[in-house]
Amino acid sequence: MRTQIISIAGKSNSGKTTLLEKLISELKNRGYKIGSVKHTHDGFDFDKKGKDSWRHKKAGAAASLVITDTKIALVKEDTRSHLEKMETFLGDTDLILAEGFKKQPLKKIEIFRIDSDHKEPMCLEDPDLIAFVTDSAFRPQVPVFGLNDVQEIASFIEKNYLTP
């Protein structure tokens, strides 16, 4: 069975990261192994200039793996789709929670806050919208949760996407 992927979508400063942190913690406490993915722009480079792994890549290595006793970091050119990358590198987890990826064909939980600069949610017409987290009056035709309903959101995910 393929690992399920759920995207936490929302506009900038809507609370995606905070919700993701709380969901990861809650689901981990329930015994699940959760992978996470954060979308960023191509110009982003976490391999610091001058460090050995950066020098290896600059010299022409197709991939560079940094290893410690408990962690790995891989820097590799990879032009496959976002979904293929998630499945390849996080396929050994029970669930992948992704932050962003609003245009990808992924199940989505949108977070929308009324105190943000945004007037309307962005995924109301998205057929992949599975839940909506808000403090607004918007009520799409999916389960709606409050901003602090982390246990209820985790139970929704567990029942629908983690339990065989």
CATH number of the domain at 127, please: 3.40.50.300
Q: List per-residue pLDDT tens for the chain, 164 residues long.
A: 688 999 999 988 899 999 999 999 999 999 999 999 987 665 555 667 777 777 887 788 878 888 888 888 887 888 999 889 898 888 899 999 999 888 889 999 999 998 767 788 999 999 999 999 999 999 999 999 999 999 999 999 999 999 77
Q: Report the distance separating Cα 134 and Cα 14, nearest Å.
A: 10
Do the domain assignments include residue 64? no
Do the domain assignments include residue 63? no
Do the domain assignments include residue 94? yes
The Cβ of residue 39 has, within 10 Å, a number of other Cβ atoms equal to 14
Do the domain assignments include residue 85? yes
Do the domain assignments include residue 57? no
Q: Which two tokens stand for residue 155?
A: 């139970």
Rounded to two decimals, the pTM is: 0.86
Q: How many domains does the chain fold into?
A: 1
Angle at 152 between CA 151 and CA 155, to 5 degrees: 85
